């Protein structure tokens, strides 16, 4: 019985296993095209992407209402704004992206803190604690959106 446990790489039943994987086998690639990883998974950056889509739709509708245009023109303007935002995001350097993300995160945190202090009349400590919640969520969304953008570019350029 002691010989069963003494050999490295063997389970108590005598079967060999791989130490690095939980079930003893190497994980199989997901179905689909071989060598092309899937980018479809739940991410925090998706929230930022949805916010950008909402911004584009709002901008298109705003311009259409201002110039008394119809929904087709609102859609065209929204697509133009989306294209310009996508072009701008792909051209940002890493340092510029993080400076922009930090600025937006800090401004949002201040606005939440100011609202909680002024409109709701909460204590400074309570307002600060509750203002840190959107700060952390936004920081995580910007961080993951950057990784998502790089992964999406890699996915598009993979063979």
pLDDT of residue 5: 47
Where b means 16+ CB within 10 Å and e means fewer, 3-39 reads: eeeeeeeeeeeeeeeeeeeeeeeeeeeeeeeeeeeee
Confidence of residue 28 (pLDDT cuts 50, 70, 90): low
Confidence of residue 90 (pLDDT cuts 50, 70, 90): confident
Q: Copy the structure tokens of residue 71.
A: 């929904």
Confidence of residue 34 (pLDDT cuts 50, 70, 90): low
Burial class of 77 by CB neighbour count within 10 A (0 to 12, 13 to 18, 19+): buried
For residue 45, pLDDT over 70 is answered with yes
Average model confidence (pLDDT) for the chain? 80
pLDDT of residue 111: 94
- Sequence-ordered list of residues with C-beta below 8 angstroms from that of 104, at least 6 positions apart, any chain: 138, 142
Domain ranges (residues) in the chain: 44-157
Give the global pTM: 0.59
């Amino acid at each position: 019985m002691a010989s069963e446990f003494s050999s490295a790489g063997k389970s108590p039943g005598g079967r060999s296993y791989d130490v690095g994987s939980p079930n003893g086998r190497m994980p199989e690639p997901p179905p689909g095209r071989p060598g092309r990883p899937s980018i479809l998974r739940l991410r925090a950056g998706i929230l930022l992407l949805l916010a950008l889509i909402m911004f584009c739709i709002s901008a298109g509708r705003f311009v259409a209402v201002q110039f008394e245009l119809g929904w087709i023109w609102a859609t065209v303007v929204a697509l133009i704004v989306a294209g310009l935002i996508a072009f701008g995001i792909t051209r940002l350097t890493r340092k510029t992206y993080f400076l922009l993300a930090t600025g937006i995160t800090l401004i949002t945190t201040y606005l939440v803190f100011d609202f909680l202090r002024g409109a709701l009349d909460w204590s400074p400590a309570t307002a600060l604690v509750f203002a840190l919640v959107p700060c952390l969520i936004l920081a995580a969304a910007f961080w993951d959106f950057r990784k998502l953008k790089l992964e999406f570019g890699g996915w598009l350029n993979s063979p």
